[in-house]
Amino acid sequence: MPDDHSTRPAPREEPAGFKQAIAEQFSVQAVIGGPRGLAESILPMTVFSIVWAFTHDVPRSVLAALVPSVVLALWRIVAREPLTQAVSGVLGIALGAGIALYTGRAQDFFVPGILKNVGLGAVYAISALVRWPLVGLLLGFMLGEDLNWRRVRPRMRVYQQVTWLWAGVFALRAAVQGWLYAAGQATALGFVNVLLGLPLFGLAVALTWLLVRRVPAAKPAPDAVAEEPVRAEAARD
């Protein structure tokens, strides 16, 4: 008598949800570089603002800001960790320091960061407008969708929405920092950088997850995947 299990179709596995995929393939720590990466992006500007508030001396404030940036970079060298984020952070701080020393204005130390937010906001906005949303390009490959999401209208729409969300994050940072820069508020610029850093980033990540998880991932159909070797064989014949 045949075994019932041999004729019974195998249960179809449900596609992993966005939350599970994020847990396996993506982590916030990887994006911001962990606690050290967060310190590299916030600590130098905060130290600059604190020293400036007490001394109103641009060279001293610049030197104080360079110290934690260089120390954190050396820490990565000793730990034999990737230096990409540390080097980019040091170069950004050094560029801001050079501008501030040249002009003698403390608020000019924050010019590279403001321009960076303007540039990122523009890139995200343009990618959404031309229907190649940057968040879709990033998450699509991380979640195994490749570019299939571009053929699924709900998935395309949600990736455009999330890309506009991130464009808004960078635009908000640039607008607030630009207003404080125009007012010459160097001390406030450093502390606003903290407030608009991790808290705003965490909120954007949470909203991204809430929006994207509502729409199923646009992965290739199992039949289409199975037919690829057959089509390749037929082409060779």
Q: How many domains does the chain have?
A: 1
| Distance, CA of 186 to CA of 55 (rounded, Å) | 12
Residue 231 lies in a domain: no
From 49-58, 153-162, 225-234, the region with the lowest mean pLDDT: 225-234
pLDDT band at residue 2, thresholds of 50, 70 and 90? very low
| The two structure tokens encoding residue 31 | 């994006």
Residues 208-227, mean pLDDT to the nearest whole number: 73
3 found inside a domain: no
Query: What is the widest separation between alpha-carbon atoms in the chain?
Result: 91
Write down the pLDDT at residue 235.
53
| Residue 12 resides in a domain | no
| Alpha carbon distance 237, 232 (integer Å) | 9
Provide the 8-state DSSP code for 139: H
The whole domain housing 194 covers: 29-220
CB 124 within 8 A of CB 163: yes
Q: Is residue 45 part of a domain?
A: yes
Q: Could you give the CA distance from residue 153 to residue 215 in angstroms, rounded to a whole number?
A: 10
User: How many C-beta atoms surround the C-beta of residue 35 within 10 A?
Assistant: 9
62 part of a folded domain: yes
15 belongs to a structural domain: no
pLDDT at residue 158 is higher than 70:
yes
Residue 80 lies in a domain: yes
> For position 215, what pLDDT does the model report?
86
Q: Which parts of the chain fold into alpha helices (H)?
A: 4-7, 18-25, 28-32, 34-55, 58-78, 84-103, 111-129, 134-142, 153-182, 186-195, 198-212, 222-236
DSSP at 184: T
Mean pLDDT taken over the chain: 79
Distance between CA atoms of residues 89 and 95, nearest Å: 10
Is residue 111 within 8 A of residue 184, CB to CB? The reply is no
Identify whether 235 is part of a domain. no
DSSP secondary-structure letter at 162? H
User: What average pLDDT does the segment 112-131 reach?
Assistant: 94
| Tokens read off for 64 | 């104080």
Structure tokens, 212? 């994207």
